[in-house]
Amino acid sequence: MRDQELDALLRGAAPLQPGAGAEERVFADVWARVQTSMADGESTPAEVLHGRRLDLIADRELAARRRRRTARLASATLAVVVAGGGTAAAAEFLSTRTGDELTGWEVEAGGSGEVLNLGGTDRSQVFAEVTADIPFAPGHDAQRTWALEFFPRETDSRISEEHLRSWVAGAAVCTWADAWVAADTAGDTAARTAAAGVLAETVSWPDIVEADTPDAIITESGEHLSYRWWVRPLAEAAVAVDRAGVLDAVAHSATCSYQVVPAIDAAPDYEYAGVR
Q: Where are the beta strands (DSSP E) in the chain?
A: 97-101, 114-117, 158-160, 217-218, 224-225
Round to whole Å and give the CA distance between 158 and 167.
14
* pLDDT band per the 50, 70, 90 thresholds, residue 218: confident
65, containing H or E segment: helix 46-92
The pLDDT value given to residue 215: 79
Phi, then psi, of 218 in degrees rounded to 5? -120, 120
Query: 69 pLDDT exceeds 60?
Result: no
Distances (CA, A) of 77 to 38, 85, 98: 48, 12, 36
* Best CA proximity match to 238, nearest among 246, 226, 248: 246
Query: 133 pLDDT exceeds 90?
Result: yes
The pLDDT value given to residue 72: 45
Residue 194's contacts (CB-CB under 8 Å, 6 or more residues apart) are 183
CB atoms within 10 A of CB 241: 14
Round to whole Å and give the CA distance between 12 and 129.
71
Among 20-34, 111-125, 169-183, 210-224, the minimum mean pLDDT is found in 20-34
Q: HEC profile for 188-217?
A: CHHHHHHHHHHHHHHCCCHHHHCCCCCCCE
The answer to whether 126 and 116 have CB atoms below 8 angstroms apart is yes
Round to whole Å and give the CA distance between 208 and 206.
5
Question: For residue range 163-198, what is the model confidence (pLDDT) as tens digits?
Answer: 999 999 999 999 999 999 999 999 999 999 999 999
The answer to whether 201 and 173 have CB atoms below 8 angstroms apart is no
The pLDDT value given to residue 81: 37
Type of residue numbered 255: T
Query: 77 pLDDT exceeds 90?
Result: no
SS3 218: strand
**Pairing mode, if any, of strands 114-117 and 158-160?**
antiparallel
* pLDDT band per the 50, 70, 90 thresholds, residue 91: low
The answer to whether 131 and 156 have CB atoms below 8 angstroms apart is no
DSSP annotation string for 156-178: T-EEEHHHHHHHHHHHHHHHHHH
The pLDDT value given to residue 108: 84
Q: Does residue 160 or residue 56 have the better pLDDT?
A: 160
- On average, the pLDDT of the chain sits at 79
Task: List beta partners, residue 158.
Answer: 117
Please report, rounded to a whole number, the percentage of residues in the chain having pLDDT higher than 70. 67
Q: Does residue 14 or residue 251 have the better pLDDT?
A: 251
Round to whole Å and give the CA distance between 61 and 72.
17
Query: 113 pLDDT exceeds 50?
Result: yes
The pLDDT value given to residue 50: 46
The pLDDT value given to residue 16: 42
Query: 249 pLDDT exceeds 90?
Result: yes
The pLDDT value given to residue 216: 80
* pLDDT band per the 50, 70, 90 thresholds, residue 150: very high
